[in-house]
Amino acid sequence: MKSALRIVLLFIFTSPRLLWSQNCAEKIDLANKMLEAREYANAINLVQPCLDSNQSKSIRWHAYRVQSIAYSFMGRTDSAQWAAKELLNINPGYVPDKLNNPKAFINLVKSHVDVKPFTFYTNFVLGSNFSQAKVIKLYGVNLSTKTYIPQIGFQIGEQLGMFITPSLSVDVGALVYGSSYAIDYDIPNWRLRYQENMLSIQVPVSAQYLFQANKRFRFGPRLGFYKQYLVTSENSFKSTYLPTNEHTNLNRELSYERRNKWQTGGVLGLTGLYKLGRGHLNFQISYSKSFTDFNKPDTRYNAPDLMYNYFYLDDNLRMNNWSFSFGYTHILHKAVGKFE
């Protein structure tokens, strides 16, 4: 008996809302036909009751879509923009298809971004980097002529983040770095070039703050720290004996054992996002400053062939880095169905 009474009460309280939702679904279908017939004012009035907060999210965003399109055709740009923003507030991941939506409406949706707090995102990055050696102390022969030269490298990886607010987000990444640097140094009768190539895995943890959080293009500062592991490194030498112009080369000599494997440092940079489709094009410019010495001081004299044949000793230095990357950010908005 109690079960039957509970079912009856449930039907009494839920059936009006269910019927109302069904009526709104029919109204939205009819309003779309009115848009095709250019009955814009009638379409706006027809779906107005469907904007009520008691309606499901899917009903409401469809109703706002109808109104935004109608206002656009009527030349009421402010009202069209307001309706498009309300649509994205309900369904932030909405991307209008080009076949069933007018260009003016599509541009309105593209121009606005709505990100809910605690929304996750993934960020693919691909770019280049330049290693910049910070010399603490020089070692070797005729030290005054030792010149460090940054070389171009690459980076590729993925980041996972979360928006705390539409402007503030935090993320953690896994990046593969291929970097290198060169040293030119001269001694009497000799000209020498040293180059080292390194492969590392970096795990950065960063926070970024975006200005113009609801605009199609947003940008802002980025701040964080990183932990980096040196997978491998190798060095090459080229020496030229000037009186005879004789060349001697040493290629791909492993330098891994003379390096500290783990590096820790800070990151400061600039991030930009541009809304495109269901995600965003992104770019990042970052400067990484190491807090760890790159070379092991106790292995400096462990390669006598380098010292006697190429007049080379490892300096005390820290390896900083400039990086420039582009990629694609996919924001994992909660899906909203057509009609709930």
Distance CA 319, CA 340 (A): 56
Residue 105 pLDDT exceeds 50: yes
Q: Which band of pLDDT confidence, cut at 50, 70 and 90, is reported for residue 44? A: very high
Q: What average pLDDT score do residues 193-218 get?
A: 95
pTM: 0.81
Q: For the domain 119-331, what is the CATH code?
A: 2.40.160.20
Q: What average pLDDT score do residues 26-38 get?
A: 93
Render pLDDT for 116-175 as a digit per residue (tens, 0 to 9): 899 999 999 999 999 999 999 988 766 667 899 999 999 999 999 999 999 999 999 999
Q: What average pLDDT score do residues 278-298 get?
A: 94
Question: Which segment of 56-60, 186-190, 209-213 scores lowest on mean pLDDT?
Answer: 186-190
**pLDDT given for residue 2 in this prediction:** 44
Distance CA 208, CA 162 (A): 11
Closest by CA position to 166, among listed 123, 98, 112: 112
**pLDDT given for residue 127 in this prediction:** 97
Residue 184 pLDDT exceeds 80: yes
Closest by CA position to 169, among listed 278, 280, 256, 65: 280
2-110 against 119-331: fold identical: no
Distance CA 226, CA 233 (A): 20
**pLDDT given for residue 124 in this prediction:** 94
Domain boundaries, the chain: 2-110, 119-331
Q: Which long-range contacts (CB under 8 A, 24 or more apart) does 65-71 make?
A: 65/96, 65/101, 65/105, 66/28, 66/31, 66/32, 66/35, 67/43, 68/105, 68/108, 69/35, 69/101, 69/102, 69/105, 70/35, 70/40, 70/41, 70/43, 70/44, 71/40, 71/44
Q: Is the dihedral of CA 176, 285, 282, 204 positive or negative?
A: positive
The architecture in CATH of the region 2-110 reads Alpha Horseshoe (1.25)
Question: Which segment of 3-17, 32-46, 85-99, 304-318 scores lowest on mean pLDDT?
Answer: 3-17
Q: What average pLDDT score do residues 233-240 get?
A: 93
Closest by CA position to 105, among listed 145, 62, 148: 62
